[in-house]
Amino acid sequence: MCGILAVFGLSESSVGKRKEGLRLSKLLRHRGPDWNGIHCAKNCLLAHERLAINGLNSGAQPICSKQEDISLSINGEIYNYIELKDELIAQDERVKDDFTTDSDCEVILHLYKKYGKDFLKEKFVNGMFAFALYDETEDEYVIARDPVGIIPLYMGWSSDGSIWFGSELKAIQDNCDHFEIFPPGHYYVGRSVRSPIGNKLESYYTEPWFVDLNRLPSISFDKLELRNQLTESVRRHLLSDVPYGVLLSGGLDSSLIASIACREYKKIGNNDIIRSFCIGLEGSPDIAAAEKVARHIGSRHYSFTFTVQQGLDALMDVIYHVETFDVTTVRASTPMFLLARRVKATGCKMVLSGEGADEVFAGYLYFHKAPNAGELHKETVRKIKSLQKHDCLRANKSMMAWGVEARVPFLDREFLEYAMNLDPEEKMCNGKIEKYILREAFNDPENPYLPDDILWRQKEQFSDGVGYSWIDALKDIAEENVSDLQMKFAESRFAVNPPVTKEAYMYREIFSKHFPSPSAAKTVPFGKSIACSTPEAIAWDASFQNAADPSGRAIAGVHSVAYKKT
């Protein structure tokens, strides 16, 4: 995981912009504290801040081809790079000598050489990534982002005609008149020297479940197949040359990932014990549950606590790093930001996390209100598409603020394409606890993955699970610091996406100090939300219509209600 910056179509030679490029790249150094590099060619510039996870000896970037005509700056991990590399070599043995690093990401450069700019349409690339590639011979550049937006990427346009791409807003906002989120599952092709050919933004991820909301999947639930599919995903995500661990909140999703990872860690011959990490307020439900799971799976566990005041003290930095004022995201990002700092202090540079399970398996509490399987499936697809602005953004930027990479096995491309083709009727609650099929897949009395009360523990949002007083304190401090008069004129003060609660106003004020442009405000999701629902799902239940609090506790008749297992 790293930070990238790329600029194309500069009005002057890129050599003259090198100093400025280095300054801006340095704004991303928290994402990649291990090394940095910059490549200038014609009127374009590629910069890279490296967090070394794989290919420690020769994986520095930008990576240049052996002929030095193609350069690549990439933030990500390619989990099937060995298969892709072997396939390229099988087609032409000479390719073997063209690889110049031991990085898993270099295969992207060679896929481009073999298949051209549309290679992401041709080949199944399984990974989390955002990259900028420049072919000097053809004067062609290709920018791309992974299918669901696990890795952040922004694009912007300058008045001098140049186009900018960066891992975070802070690296491009000073030079761009307008900027926006680069869409997941897309690639952008252009020429650095202005050309009548023009530029092209095109989707490469066109799986039927993703593009056709009205298509109803039909694969039947098979307990062992679901278990095997998730296990294989976790195994792929253990690719690392540095110490790693697991984030363990004590909820179902992170606990399953931790349990599987612990088993796989032992299988690959590690003599050490996998590390697990949790954070919460003193006495929080997450800490107690996480410690129970850690004892069960045999991890080396670290429980960290924070105080409400420490969380409040961090808010300014959290919003600067996470680049949002979305209430749910800020609430959850703060403890995760504090946890990342503690994780880094243990010497761990990569962690596995449980993001994505609630979207894939309809795990949020409001899914109990889904009227039918078709509506439930549509909502899960909408939720996965919005992850880039919520949970993926939080997990990536909160952890990378301290140079820790977060990997998310539930959003593995191969696993997604299995799980999102399951019959959505299987995901309906119908009086059962949410995510029933996921729980049942790992319900193994002979060799239990988790303690029974953890396997069947009801959903808690992360910001709730760290301790309810965290959210209550945020509301209280906002009530003290934001006046009724300020709320009355909120729309005048913030014309784009005005805040509707005092807590939202507090975050928006901090955000606007870091990112004053209206373009920045437009990158943040806006609208009424109930427990992370989309606007379409609010219509499911009359009680959702006037709810302003996005906490899971706001779901009347669902939270803290026991649901039967079968």
Are 435 and 319 found together in one domain?
yes
End-of-domain residue from the set 171, 188, 206: 206
Are 263 and 182 found together in one domain?
no
End-of-domain residue from the set 148, 180, 206: 206
The model's pLDDT over 124-151, given as tens digits with 9 standing for 90+, comes to 999 999 999 999 999 999 999 999 999 9
Phi, then psi, of 278 in degrees rounded to 5: -145, 155
3-state helix, strand, coil in the chain (%, to 5): 45, 15, 40
pLDDT for 59 equals 80
Mean pLDDT of 343-369: 96
The structure tokens listed for 253 are 């999703």
Q: Catalytic positions, please? A: 2
**Residue 467 domain flag:** yes
Residue 461 pLDDT greater than 60, yes or no: no
Are 320 and 431 found together in one domain?
yes
Q: Which helix (H) or strand (E) holds 558?
A: none
Written in H, E and C, the secondary structure of 393-435 is HHHHHHHHCCCCEEECHHHCHHHHHHHCCECHHHHCCCCECCC
DSSP state string for 121-188: HHS---EEEEEEEEETTTTEEEEEE-TT-SS--EEEE-TTS-EEEESSGGGTTTT-SEEEEPPTTEEE
User: Look-up: residue for tokens 């009205």?
Assistant: 214
The Cα–Cα gap between 236 and 240 comes to: 10
The Cα–Cα gap between 452 and 509 comes to: 44
Are 416 and 457 found together in one domain?
yes
Mean pLDDT of 430-451: 96
Q: Could you give the number of structural domains in the chain?
A: 2
Give the annotated binding-site residues for L-glutamine. Answer: 104
The Cα–Cα gap between 406 and 129 comes to: 12
Percentage with pLDDT > 90 across the chain: 82
**Choice among 95-104, 418-427, 503-512 with the minimum mean pLDDT:** 95-104
**Residue 326 domain flag:** yes
The structure tokens listed for 377 are 């499936």
Average of per-residue pLDDT values in the chain: 92
Give the annotated binding-site residues for ATP. Answer: 247, 279, 353-354
User: Look-up: residue for tokens 């304190």?
Assistant: 473
The model's pLDDT over 501-540, given as tens digits with 9 standing for 90+, comes to 999 999 999 999 999 999 999 999 976 555 557 888 888 8
**Helical pair 252-267 and 223-236, crossing angle rounded to 10 deg:** 70
CATH number of the domain that residue 258 is part of:
3.40.50.620
442-to-221, 229, 365, 431, 467 alpha-carbon distances in Å: 13, 12, 21, 20, 27
Phi, then psi, of 87 in degrees rounded to 5: -65, -40
Are 164 and 240 found together in one domain?
no
Phi, then psi, of 214 in degrees rounded to 5: -85, -5
By DSSP bridging, strand 275-280 and strand 35-41 are: unpaired
Residue type for 458, please? Q
CATH number of the domain that residue 174 is part of:
3.60.20.10
Are 152 and 178 found together in one domain?
yes
Which residues face 48 on adjacent strands?
4, 37
Give the annotated binding-site residues. Answer: 104, 247, 279, 353-354
End-of-domain residue from the set 179, 206, 233: 206
- 560 vs 122: which has the higher pLDDT: 122
Residue 64 pLDDT greater than 90, yes or no: yes
- Say how many residues make up the chain: 566
Q: Which domain holds residue 298?
A: 211-554
